[in-house]
Amino acid sequence: MGLGSRAMEGMGLMRVLVTGSEGYIGTVLCAYLLDRGHEVTGLDTGFHRVGWLYHGVDRSPAWVAKDIRHVAAEDLRGFDAIVHLAELSNDPVGQLNPEITFEINHLGSVRLATLARAAGVQRFIYMSSCSVYGSAGDTDSTETAEVHPLTAYAKCKVLVERDVPSLATDDFSPTFLRNATAYGASPRMRFDLVVNDLAGHAWTEKVIRMDSDGRPWRPFVHILDISQAIDLVLRAPRDLIHGQVFNVGSNHQNYQVREVAEIIADVFPGCRTQFGDSSGDHRNYRANFDKIRDVLGFEARYDVARGAQQLLEVFRAVDMSTELFESRGHTRIKQIQHLLSTGQIDARFFWVRPPVPTDTGADPATAPGSGTVARA
Ligand SMILES: NC(=O)c1ccc[n+]([C@@H]2O[C@H](COP(=O)([O-])OP(=O)(O)OC[C@H]3O[C@@H](n4cnc5c(N)ncnc54)[C@H](O)[C@@H]3O)[C@@H](O)[C@H]2O)c1
């Protein structure tokens, strides 16, 4: 029996809490897990709910509107597993306020894992990132390679991976998924990710616009393949995933950014290619993905060409305009800056409840961030 089949012998279906369920990956992941029979609940503070590009999932879980910093152990009781996605999710947002990034991404995640263990949750799947390899250059980093995080965002991933393993017990198994850079269509779309951004420019302007000179290496993975990896970890026998770190992606999807540009050019014909300068992006890393294939039987079903084709079909279906492509709902930093500048979130990124007129009958307890359950 192969290791892949052994992985399928594990826990089977589970009661899963997905944090960050209202985000780019979370929206697709929740539908994926529901389709495979898991009982799923979401939890998200809802920073990016405004960014809904198209109708793309038929199933969404009930979700709790709550900041992870306000979660209590009783919120977590009864779940078999937590898949933890809810963080400030990229370098620019992380750099905006590194202190708050550490508060949410490092301390918030470690606190959540601590509460999960206290609440009797058995598995804690953490969404780390291959960006921990930072500037490793041309070598394919395995999970045991040295890490070189370059930003507050990537440093927090390393700190969570440093602190959470000590919580592991016979009854509590954390697993760390170092995902490659994600791409692919999600109803709650992000255009601040390389493949999606290049495809969006190709569609709206007929220009394939790179920030860098195109030489940096980056591994890529489709969000449905990330979802597949998470499902495999949920189902795997405990000894295969207990305290383990897995790179999530595939060896053939380590690309130089200019190769990605060429693939996009094939899918979006008639585009001009524009390079940035060599100082545009310091991240330069490749990763080795043997472990997740050998231990969990993971095989990526998508590549960048297929993902770009999927994006083209979505852009065509919604007749995507430049305005929509550039709107704040699809670029994390624009939306966070908007929420800050309008005072909808405070300096610590907590929602500020706007005054609710008493004669509307609106119940202030249903305002965002108040911890009530809503249907997405
Ligand atoms: N997208 C990628 O390329 C990629 C790659 C590697 C790892 N990851 C990780 O995967 C996770 C999800 O990424 P994504 O691309 O879906 O990002 P996203 O920004 O679309 O989703 C993150 C979600 O978390 C929520 N959130 C943020 N802070 C919160 C808080 N304090 N309390 C409750 N909810 C909060 C946001 O409202 C948002 O819906 C993140 O942890 C990210 O670092 C993403």
Taking only the tens place, the pLDDT of each residue in 330-343 is 999 999 999 999 99
pLDDT of res. 1 = 33
- Ligand 1: centre distance to CA 6 (Å): 31
pLDDT for residue 32: 98
6 against 160, higher pLDDT? 160
In this prediction, residues 72-77 reach a mean pLDDT of 97
Give the per-residue pLDDT at 375: 35
HSE toward the beta carbon, residue 174, CA cutoff 13 A: 24
What is the CA(166)–ligand 1 centre distance, in A? 24
**Mean pLDDT (whole number) for 152-160:** 97
Residue 2 pLDDT class (50, 70, 90 cuts): very low
Taking residues 358-364, report their average pLDDT: 60
Query: Which backbone phi and psi does 345 adopt, to 5 degrees?
Result: -125, 150
Task: Report the candidate in 60, 33, 184 with the shortest Cα–Cα distance to residue 123.
Answer: 33
Q: Tens digit of pLDDT for each residue in 223-251?
A: 999 999 999 999 999 999 999 999 999 99
| pLDDT at res. 156 | 97
Residues in the chain: 376
Instruction: Give Cα 250 distance to the centre of its chain.
Output: 17
- For residue 278, what pLDDT is reported? 65
pLDDT tens sequence across 182-214: 999 999 999 999 999 999 999 999 999 988 888
Q: Rounded distance, CA 282 to CA 135, Å?
A: 7
pLDDT at position 253 over 90: yes
- 374 - beta bridge partners? 63
Nearest CA to ligand 1 atom 28: 87
Nearest-CA residue for atom 17 of ligand 1: 89
Closest ligand 1 atom to residue 25 Cα is: 16
Q: Which tokens is 90 given?
A: 């990229």
CA-CA distance, 175 to 165, in Å (whole number)?
A: 8
Domains of the chain by residue range: 3-189+221-253+285-304
Report the percent of the chain where pLDDT is more than 70. Answer: 91
Rounded Cα distance between 327 and 148, Å, is 33
Q: Which atom of ligand 1 lies closest to the CA of 221?
A: 3
The Cα–Cα gap between 376 and 369 comes to 14
Query: Quick one: CATH architecture of 3-189+221-253+285-304?
Result: 3-Layer(aba) Sandwich (3.40)
Measured from CB, residues less than 6 Å from any atom of ligand 1 are: 20, 22-26, 44-48, 67-69, 85-89, 104, 108, 127, 129, 179, 181-182, 190, 193, 332
Distance 88 CA to ligand 1 centre (A): 6
Question: Ligand 1 centre from 358 Cα, in Å?
Answer: 35
Q: Determine if the pTM surpasses 0.85.
A: yes
Q: What is the mean pLDDT of residues 148-155?
A: 94
Q: What is the pLDDT of residues 107-121, one digit of tens each?
A: 999 999 999 999 999
pLDDT the model gives residue 10: 57
